[in-house]
Chains A and B, each alone.
Chain A
Amino acid sequence: MTQFITAVLTSLSSGAIYALMAIAIVLVWRSTRVINFAQAGQAVLTTYIGYTVIQRTGSFWIALVVAVVSGAVIGAVIDRFFMRPIFKRVKSGPIVMIAPVVATLGLLGIIQAVIGFVWGITNQSIEAPVSTGGYKVMGTVIAFSNYNLLVLVFVAIAMLLLTLLFQKTNIGLALRASAYSPEIAKLSGIKVDSVRTLGWAIAGASGGLAGMLYIPGYFLYPNAMDLLLVLGFIAAVIGGLESLFGAVAGAMILGFAIIFSTTYISPKLFFPTAFIVLILVLLVKPAGLFAPKKSRGA
């Protein structure tokens, strides 16, 4: 029973972290139709910035705020000075789909190289702001701590804020319109380029939050977010790539599948489980489990 409770709570905690990365991927996908592989680099860069702030101030909380804000700034800068010029120059042919994705891969390499140059490639660590000691359930210490709970709360708050932003504000409507139909949005007077930059900024902030919450308990090094990127990407695909709810739901499905298979069958099943779930979803519902319904034919 204790093992089951531990598995459920750990699944939630893991899924929450995957969800933040999945949200970042979905936000960029929705606004530009690009899978942003550089998100792993952006998240690790903001985490290094957070790490530096902790070194100077000793405060995880100040570092968290700085990491989220710098994530937003880095996201906006990447879109304004890197992606937007690419979109302007690449206008037709198959390269339209390929060039931006390849560009994000290149950017990932550049960011990781710069991090290695500035901070070095040795492992660093960030101490969690609250206890990472597991709770005691029926006399047994389980692998779920105050810190895991904190992560869950933060992800829930981030989801709530993003949902309110997208569904209840004019900016959210502009973001949704620009994502679904940039042309109609432009013809309606919406400054789509600026709105897309905002989308990249929000995605960058989400990635920054994911990085700062993910690293305590792991080591910080230039490639530290590569695994999280893969899992976030799988979660986003499971969810259908289009909705924030889908991203979170996909991340939770992935979290539960991985934790339960590694707990009850074999720890070696971590990667196989992730990819088996992905392939099953692609076979059964290629558009993802929570893809928007197709519209009625005119």
Chain B
Amino acid sequence: MSLIVEGLTIDHGAIRAINNVSFKVAQGQLAAIIGANGAGKTTLLRTLSGLKDATSGNASWNGASILGKRAEDLARSGIMHVSDGKSVIAELSVKDNLALTGLWRKDKKDVVAATNEVIELFPILGQRMSQSAGSLSGGERQMLAIGRALIARPKLLLLDEPSLGLAPLIVEQIFQTIKSLVKKMDLTVVLVEQNAMGALKIADQGIVLNLGSVVLVDSADKLLNDPAVRSAYLGF
């Protein structure tokens, strides 16, 4: 199983947000897509999860094209997207937020098991089950959003800026959790981040986007340790 993106182009009206982007992420790998604000990272992820239409190009998961499919169908097929802004439904309780990805699953026993695993992974959620998601802190909301995705037993996890607006300690905790999930669940993860250093530290592969185009694809280690690349594209 792998995610293959070939010559993907996405327009926002007259503006070209993503231009002829190609990359591949193998199963069980964590790819970090990094780049400055406006590089097209979020647009790319929204297209891969079915929220936005592509203008041209291809994207496939496990050999099957994923472009043009509905977000809910992709979610049910194991592609879960945790969008930016700590995507929880503030008006619903933590319990109800977690229940959303189990509503359509037929194996209800496994839904219960997956929910227990998520609570084990993020114990704070277990203590907040009856609270509204809107009352959670930023870090807790991020845990809830990731936990909700995990209950669907995803194969491909698309994470958009999970560190956005969080304290450094919480960011570190979230990143380490993501890294551990890749190994534990044999997950393939595409992590979109502005926090390039943090993302590359846990990633296998780094993809650098600049103004909608891929300017570098390499192993995360190499990108992190190349001073020229760091100063030119990563800003540290």
Contact = CB atoms under 8 A, between A and B. Distances in A.
Q: Are A and B physically bound partners?
A: yes
Contact of B75 (A173, A177, A189, A292): A189
A155 B86 CA distance: 39
A89 interface: no
Interface centre among A174, A184, A185 (most CB of B within 10 A): A184
Contacts of B132: 295
B66 to A, nearest CB: 14
Given A177-B89, A191-B72, 8 more contacts: A183-B83, A186-B50, A186-B72, A187-B83, A191-B104, A295-B134, A298-B137, A298-B138
A188 B91 contact: no
Contacts of A183: 51, 71, 83, 87
B28 to A, nearest CB: 23
A282 interface: no
A176 interface: yes
A122 interface: no
B158 to A, nearest CB: 9
A116 to B, nearest CB: 40
Interface centre among B101, B103, B104 (most CB of A within 10 A): B103
B81 interface: yes
A189 B136 contact: no
Nearest to A171: B103
A189 B99 CA distance: 11
Contacts of A189: 72, 75-76, 100-101, 103-104, 152
A56 interface: no
A178 to B, nearest CB: 10
A293 B90 CA distance: 10
B169 to A, nearest CB: 16
B89 A184 contact: yes
A84 to B, nearest CB: 13
Interface string A281-298: 000000000001111101
A174 B135 CA distance: 21
B104 A177 contact: no
A22 interface: no
Given A180-B89, A295-B135, A298-B86, A173 B99 contact: yes
Interface in B45-101: 49-51, 70-72, 75-76, 80-83, 86-92, 96, 99-101
A184 B70 contact: no
Contact of A292 (B87, B91, B148): B91
Contact of B148 (A188, A191, A298): A188
Contact of B100 (A177, A191, A294, A295): A177
A220 B100 CA distance: 44
A181 interface: yes
A194 to B, nearest CB: 9
B230 to A, nearest CB: 30
A292 B133 CA distance: 13
Given A189-B75, A295-B132, A295-B133, A184 B138 contact: no
B75 A188 contact: yes
B72 A184 contact: no
B123 interface: no
A296 B101 contact: no
